[in-house]
Structure 1
Amino acid sequence: MPVGSPIQLAILTLIASIGSAQAQEQTPSAAEKKATSDSTAISEVIVTGTKRATSLQRTPVAITAIGAAALDDAHVQTIQDVVNLVPGFQATSQGDHGVITMTLRGVGNDSAKTEYADPEVASFVNGVYSPRPEGATSLLFDLEGIEVLRGPQGTLWGRNATVGAVNMQTAKPVIGQSSGTFEGGLGSYKRTGVRGAFNVPVSDTMALRFAFVNEKHDGYVDYQGVPNIPLASQQAAFLAGGGKLADFKPIDPNLFVQDGAKYGAQDQSAARVSVLWKPTPALRIDASYEKFMDRGTPSMNLLQTPRAGYSLWSALIDTAPALKRDTDAVRGRIEYALNDSMNVVYVGGYSKFSGSSKFDQDGGAKVPTSFTTNGVYQANNTVSSNYTNYSHELNLQSVGKRDIDWQLGLYYGSETNDMRFDIPIMNGTQQGTVSWQGSFIQPKETVESSAAFGQATWNASDALHLTGGLRYTSDKRANIGGRGYGWTGNAALTQAAITPNVDPRDPNSNFAVSSMNDGNYSSNKVTGLLRAAYDVNQDHMIYGSVSTGYKSGGLQDGGKPYGPETLTSYEFGSKSSFLGGSVKWNNALYYQDFKDFQFSAPITNPDGSHGLATSNAEGAKIYGFESELAAKLTKEDKLQISLAITKAKLGNLIGGSNDYSLPVCKVPGISNCLDVSNNTMPHAPTFSAQVMYQHTFNLSHGTLTPRISLHYETSSWLSVFNLGEGDKQNAYTRTDLGLRYAASGKTAWYVDAFVRNAGDGNVKTSALNGFGPWMAQYLPPRTYGINVGLDF
């Protein structure tokens, strides 16, 4: 390793933090005490990453905890907004399903947006697992905070937490308190927003909380004009393509969308009612019901080199956008103190999702020269998608100060889903001839996961803490009646693009079964954790751990199974407080060894049929360093700095994907593929950093707080194929600005103005060139707005 390399600097930084820790005197930690408003100490942060309420600085896990105030300052609405607040965290937009997929420490799965692929980063709301990525994109409103746990979390958190977990904690009712908050706002792209929450005491043992939100703005993507192609040119192109003059039709201009809702629009609403009941000092019951509705539009694939005469944020659209998502979720937690040394906790939830969408997959990549030539019409249409999920966990744990802290748990989760997904692909325009089209109908797929786990920490001394944990997981999947229907090409039957009112099971539909997807899959695995933590003194801690992760295999098109993936992670970290608690500095150095990493992508089979395939790579090697520093420089000045250094290399894998132009495959079973062995993993910049600073000016009737947030990262690949500039996001810096005035006195009102992506940079989140020219999806352009709120 060359001197001065990023990883070497990371190691030196970690050693420096440990050296600083050892040089400190053994004095009480101000960071462990709640800071007052006139203090320069940073308030203690309580986290639940170990399924217990513990101080962040005393928890030997790499956790980023983002409180409600920080979420408001950053105007966080979705998981994608959290990216800049967590080192080593990435989130990518995926247009056809209107979902966001997550990558942590260089590992994720861009195809984890349907029932065929699971994420490596698990999402939880109040400790209840959210199995589908749709749930993770729901509006993040009225939260106590978000905890992002980095590294394998399977021992305590369960399935699909291979490289990390995100736990969102909603605000809970407060007994005996009448309070509320209300906020309304306006902004660019005709943005309107309103949100609020009200706490209502019912009795001396019960309280309710009502929260709601609605956010709307117009889409970012303008419609390009109808192609102006002379009729003679259309005829010439049609004839050159092998057509007969008698069959010629002029391009129908009505096939190109010119008005209506644009791609990239937001129209999301949610409401939640929560109840807290404490009938006795020993019993606490929390329960909530939440409704989420999305009537916005998907994000869009855009030409990376804009068409002449048009801006980047425009496209030649032939499929009007549509997105409908509804989620109902019930979550609950019951905690009972059996005695002074033992608690039993039940955490359970039920969620139901239904949705549909229409998406212009081709994005107008090519302008048609006639109704059957040059252009491509491809619509990805989710006709219906339904998921039902149950989650139950029972946990018995010790409480209080003991020589051995322990917990035992049982978990059961189940999921049932059904869907229909249509893909019509036509030559030229929607009027043209069929290139290929198919319909995937999944009437029933089930997932069951059960587990037993235990973890214990031996407090060998006041300073040394040794932890061990094991989890046994059993997974079962079944695909019942799933079928893929492909185009038969019968000239005597209809030649039109498939629509939802076409039943591909009908022999006269011109479709026939192309894949039988029935199948069963089961697997089990034991994963574990070993960790040692040492309190150098009350202000400094170091820790080291070895942990394993596991993600179940499953079934793909054709009922073919794919194998599970496993991970062994080695981590060494430090957590320190300096200057009486006004500076906190946390570091983590890690190495992750993957086996059988799952890669999923849409492919074309040698017989011309299409499907989603999952392959197991030989593995992947990832190592890196993360550092987070928070400083309260004065009572009025706050500074936060985080950085991540990541090196992620894939093992041996032959990968295929319809989203990319790839050479003919020599491996049986895939038409086009590429050897991506030893390529760099996508969404894994070598270096990324975030700096946030704010200063509070004390005025006669309130405070004025300007803030600035800078995010920088080096270049990163957007796919495992590493296909050059089109498949890469170059190094960039993003700036967000804010200015908040908060009035003092009896009426606590505020005005908050913000500018996001102030430099109006174009940051890619995904890319493809399967239609010829390079296209990409992007983070939103520059947006701005103002919110006015009242706390009472």
Structure 2
Amino acid sequence: MLLRKTMLFSSIIAVLATQSFAYAQTAENAADDGDQSEQKERTLDEVLVTATKRSTPLQETPIAITAIGADTLEKERVNTVQDITNLVPGFSATTQGDHGVITLTLRGIGNDSAKTEYADPEVALFVDGIYTPRAEGAASLLMDLESVEVLRGPQGTLWGRNSTVGAVNMQTAKPDLGDTSGTVQFGLGNYARLGARGAFNLDMGETWALRIAYAHEEHEGYVDYQNPGELLPSVASQLAAYIASGGSADTFQPINQNLFVNGGDKYNAQNQTAVRISSLWQPTDAFSWNLSYEKFRDTGTPNANLMQTPRAGQDFWSTFADVAPYLDRDVDTIRSRMDWQINDGIALSYTAGFSHFEGSSDYDQDGGVQVPTSFTTGATYQQDRTNYSEYENYSHEFDLKSTGDGSIDWILGAYYAAEKNKIRFDIPIFNGTQQGTVAWQGSFIQPKQTVDSRAVFGQITWHASDDLRLTAGLRYTDDSKENIGGRGWGWQGYGHPEIPQVPIAPGTTPSNANGFGFGVGGINDGQYDHGQLTWLARVDYDLTDDFLIYGSVSTGYKSGGLQDGGVPYKHEELTNYEFGTKQSFMDGKLVWNNAVYYEDFKDFQLAAPIIFTDGSRGLGFSNVSGSTTVWGFESELEAAITDVDRLQVVFSAIPKKELGTLLYAGSNDYQGLPACPPASGIASCLDVSGNELAHAPDAALHLVYEHDFEFASGARLTPRVSTHFETESWLSPFNLGDGDKQKSYNRTDLTFRYTPASNNWYADFYVDNVQDGKVRTNAGRTAVGGGQFVYLSQYLPPRTFGLNFGFYF
């Protein structure tokens, strides 16, 4: 069925390709003034990309790559990486509540748990070529970008570290010499949305220019609070339930309704601000230095775990919360790039970056699934609290490469990166309410974790003829990780009535807390070292001036590390076999790119919070043995049906995405898994061997269409419809049924833009998620007794609408 649909889709596109479309490709560069704004929408410009670490035309670059320019980013109202996923084949993003992060999946490969201080994502994020190691980077506010390039498939030669299945490189807008101009945008919408952003280019002389960019986005939370007064049982019923559980009237206390959240900040709120100051110094034609400082601040709230089926009488977008949401992230980043044209044939680049992250959060992990029957029965209270997290990372890269026309293109590079991380994460779990008894509680304190990564690489392309090119690349990476002084403290006060049973406070230090009932549950000290060779072999050939074909075999690698308890886990390797085509028709008026790929993934890392056989808890990593295999087809088309009609089609099919062998997969997010054999080391687990990968629908189709209505005055009204359809997909490797999947869905966004004849301002009216659909991004389940479970998920936003006003000067 899927194969027939794929062939039908390809046939339709082939027919479209033979038609006489009048293509008006967007220039995809930010406008300097109103006239340039009009020009960028009506002329055909060549799209340049930096996927090979040199500027090349997109249609001449033999890599599966999606390039999204500034104009499209503005029209799509992109705030985070999650907002561009529909424009890229096989790309998806999930939200993870307690840390307030976004995790990415590409071509079926990703890891929801790559959200800790030490777990690396399989999709590498770069800003101006500088690696962003932690998953929190995907939630940062994107602003004043020149383009976003998404490279699909392993990029282990040129891009290197942890680009196992692909890389996302965001290019910020750079200052322009000799120009003073700017743009400003203001916006408002439902849920009290307020937005503002702007960019100003300042001419500082013949050799120096500055650019200042600013962005702020905020809206109230989408999730209301359920009223505890309407849900909690009467005091008499509470007393009866408490006595039935073995308590006595002498120790009974009624549930304190003030323990439940009924006001203040709501879950799923946004409040993000970013500022960037960029400098360009170009004293000669042969040398330039781009330097920038960026500040990002996030005081929104995490996304709530919502019941997939609300209790009777409750709204879907609501929660019975006993932990108020809190999120505080602060990131300072410095990026630098120097370019020297040494002579006509050789250029040298030096790229360096430094980033400092601080954050804390508070989260209601239990999701209010159960209503307590007394202060210590009928429900579970679980708070996930990041008391503090602090990450520092810096990197250096030197690239020496050939320039100009020649029969051989080459690049040599050296790379070094280092991280230093620390975190404290507390989890109090109580029976009934915070007033109840301890079910378990612990504190994970990691004072110092370090990462050192060194690499050398080279890539060479031989132009065997005017039409044929052969490319080979190698990279050797040496990774070292060390955990110093990490401890997992767990509750050991069972059976000791003299120990106060209260949730661990942020100021309580378990190691010095005599009488608080904590003991060491895990010693995390250890060191991990591994070296890995990754490589690339590729051939590409011009069948015609407008028809490129290529085939490649490439490898990617992600380092292993140390899990809780100091136990090492293996590195993972991916080998990707790919064939692709890039075609332009009607003098570039229609562009159609395709790729077929097969992935062989060894030792895929799956991680989750688990309970060990001794009752302690921690984050466990498992390597999937054997081969995890994925194959798929991708297609991208851009065209303009007339001078005023533009169309974009993005299609992805992943008919096979099968896990290798993993007999003992566990996760505390999925309660009620069967008991595991003692030899496994964990309390409960499931055999997931051969299951399908998560977030990998069999097929996904995204269509964007816009039309210009031109008035006699010279003004324009441009409606734009962006609609996404995908088949059902699993939300975890457990494949547990309907509660663990997202069903097939369609989601549509609409925009209407008015531009006056002067072209120096515009106004947008938008509606996102017109259908007001409920699209899950993850899942988990809670046991409620009698073999019954309640499933929870986080969701993409509900229907939103608003206005934006922009000005050029």
Same fold judged by TM-score > 0.5? yes
Q: Tell me, in whole angstroms, the C-alpha distance in 2 between the residues paired with 1:3 and 1:356.
A: 45
The residue aligned with 1:513 is 520
Q: Tell me, in whole angstroms, the C-alpha distance in 1 between the residues paired with 2:371 and 2:628.
A: 40
Whether the 8 Å CA contact 1:336–1:345 is kept in 2: the answer is: yes
1:350 aligned to 2:354?
yes
Amino acid at match of 1:706: P
Deviation per residue, 1:333-366 (Å, 9 max, x gap): 0000010000000111000000000000001010
Deviation per residue, 1:652-687 (Å, 9 max, x gap): 012100000211112520101000000000000000
Amino acid at match of 2:595: A
Q: 5 Å matches for 1:613-692? A: 613-618=620-625, 619-646=627-654, 647-653=656-662, 654-661=664-671, 662-666=673-677, 667-692=679-704
Which runs of 5 or more structure 2 residues have no equivalent in the other structure?
A: 30-37, 784-788
Q: 5 Å matches for 1:297-446? A: 297-446=301-450
The residue aligned with 2:794 is 777
Whether the 8 Å CA contact 1:42–1:632 is kept in 2: the answer is: no
The residue aligned with 1:497 is 503
1:479 aligned to 2:487?
no
Amino acid at match of 1:308: A
Q: TM-score, normalised by structure 2?
A: 0.94
Three-state SS of the structure 2 residue aligned to 1:384 is: strand
The residue aligned with 2:778 is 766
Whether the 8 Å CA contact 2:360–2:388 is kept in 1: the answer is: yes
Amino acid at match of 2:546: D
How far apart are residue 458 of structure 1 and its match?
A: 0.2
Three-state SS of the structure 1 residue aligned to 2:197 is: strand
1:702 aligned to 2:715?
yes
Three-state SS of the structure 1 residue aligned to 2:510 is: coil
How far apart are residue 508 of structure 1 and its match?
A: 2.5
Q: 5 Å matches for 1:146-165? A: 146-165=148-167
The residue aligned with 1:756 is 768
The residue aligned with 2:457 is 453
Q: 5 Å matches for 1:590-629? A: 590-618=597-625, 619-629=627-637
Amino acid at match of 2:582: K
How far apart are residue 608 of structure 1 and its match?
A: 1.4
Three-state SS of the structure 2 residue aligned to 1:339 is: coil
Amino acid at match of 1:539: D
Whether the 8 Å CA contact 1:638–1:693 is kept in 2: the answer is: yes
Whether the 8 Å CA contact 1:631–1:639 is kept in 2: the answer is: yes
Q: Tell me, in whole angstroms, the C-alpha distance in 1 between the residues paired with 2:26 and 2:157.
A: 27
Amino acid at match of 1:522: D
The residue aligned with 2:227 is 225
Q: 1:569 aligns with which of 549, 552, 576?
A: 576
Amino acid at match of 1:77: N
The residue aligned with 2:550 is 543
Whether the 8 Å CA contact 1:658–1:770 is kept in 2: the answer is: no
The residue aligned with 1:732 is 745
Deviation per residue, 1:4-48 (Å, 9 max, x gap): 54566689899x79x999x99xxxx99999999599774211100
Q: Tell me, in whole angstroms, the C-alpha distance in 2 between the residues paired with 1:418 and 1:20.
A: 54
Q: Tell me, in whole angstroms, the C-alpha distance in 2 between the residues paired with 1:31 and 1:266.
A: 34
Aligned residues: percent identity?
56
How far apart are residue 228 of structure 1 and its match?
A: 3.3
Q: 1:473 to 1:579 in 2, by over 3 A?
A: same
Deviation per residue, 1:540-582 (Å, 9 max, x gap): 1000000011110000000000000001100000000001111
Q: Tell me, in whole angstroms, the C-alpha distance in 1 between the residues paired with 2:411 and 2:422.
A: 37
1:268 aligned to 2:272?
yes
Amino acid at match of 2:508: V
Three-state SS of the structure 2 residue aligned to 1:764 is: coil
The residue aligned with 1:72 is 74
Q: Tell me, in whole angstroms, the C-alpha distance in 2 between the residues paired with 1:105 and 1:149.
A: 11
1:462 aligned to 2:466?
yes
Q: Tell me, in whole angstroms, the C-alpha distance in 1 between the residues paired with 2:24 and 2:499.
A: 78
Amino acid at match of 1:242: G
1:100 aligned to 2:130?
no
Whether the 8 Å CA contact 2:107–2:696 is kept in 1: the answer is: yes
Deviation per residue, 1:702-732 (Å, 9 max, x gap): 2111000110000000000000000010000
Q: 1:41 to 1:586 in 2, by over 3 A?
A: farther
Amino acid at match of 1:199: N
Q: 5 Å matches for 1:129-144? A: 129-144=131-146
The total of aligned residue pairs comes to 783
Q: 5 Å matches for 1:158-307? A: 158-226=160-228, 227-307=231-311
Q: Tell me, in whole angstroms, the C-alpha distance in 1 between the residues paired with 2:669 and 2:745.
A: 25
How far apart are residue 150 of structure 1 and its match?
A: 0.3
The residue aligned with 1:47 is 49
Deviation per residue, 1:724-773 (Å, 9 max, x gap): 0000100000000000011222x601101111101100000000003541
Q: 1:690 to 1:3 in 2, by over 3 A?
A: closer
Deviation per residue, 1:484-506 (Å, 9 max, x gap): 00001132222101110111112
How far apart are residue 639 of structure 1 and its match?
A: 0.2
Q: Tell me, in whole angstroms, the C-alpha distance in 2 between the residues paired with 1:318 and 1:439.
A: 20
Which runs of 5 or more structure 1 residues have no equivalent in the other structure?
A: none
Whether the 8 Å CA contact 1:273–1:290 is kept in 2: the answer is: yes
Deviation per residue, 1:276-299 (Å, 9 max, x gap): 010111001001000000010000
Three-state SS of the structure 2 residue aligned to 1:80 is: helix
Q: Tell me, in whole angstroms, the C-alpha distance in 1 between the residues paired with 2:10 and 2:523.
A: 52
Whether the 8 Å CA contact 2:645–2:705 is kept in 1: the answer is: yes
Amino acid at match of 2:483: N
1:488 aligned to 2:488?
no
Whether the 8 Å CA contact 2:583–2:592 is kept in 1: the answer is: yes
How far apart are residue 607 of structure 1 and its match?
A: 1.6
Whether the 8 Å CA contact 2:25–2:640 is kept in 1: the answer is: no
Three-state SS of the structure 1 residue aligned to 2:250 is: helix
Q: Tell me, in whole angstroms, the C-alpha distance in 2 between the residues paired with 1:599 and 1:557.
A: 14
How far apart are residue 775 of structure 1 and its match?
A: 0.6
Amino acid at match of 2:158: L
Q: 1:788 to 1:304 in 2, by over 3 A?
A: same
Whether the 8 Å CA contact 2:24–2:41 is kept in 1: the answer is: no
Deviation per residue, 1:250-309 (Å, 9 max, x gap): 000000000000000000001000000101110010010000000100000000001111
Amino acid at match of 2:717: L
Whether the 8 Å CA contact 1:40–1:633 is kept in 2: the answer is: no
Amino acid at match of 1:69: D
Deviation per residue, 1:174-208 (Å, 9 max, x gap): 00000001111110100011111100010111100
Three-state SS of the structure 2 residue aligned to 1:136 is: helix
How far apart are residue 55 of structure 1 and its match?
A: 0.4
Deviation per residue, 1:460-480 (Å, 9 max, x gap): 011001000000000000000
Whether the 8 Å CA contact 2:62–2:540 is kept in 1: the answer is: yes
Three-state SS of the structure 1 residue aligned to 2:239 is: helix
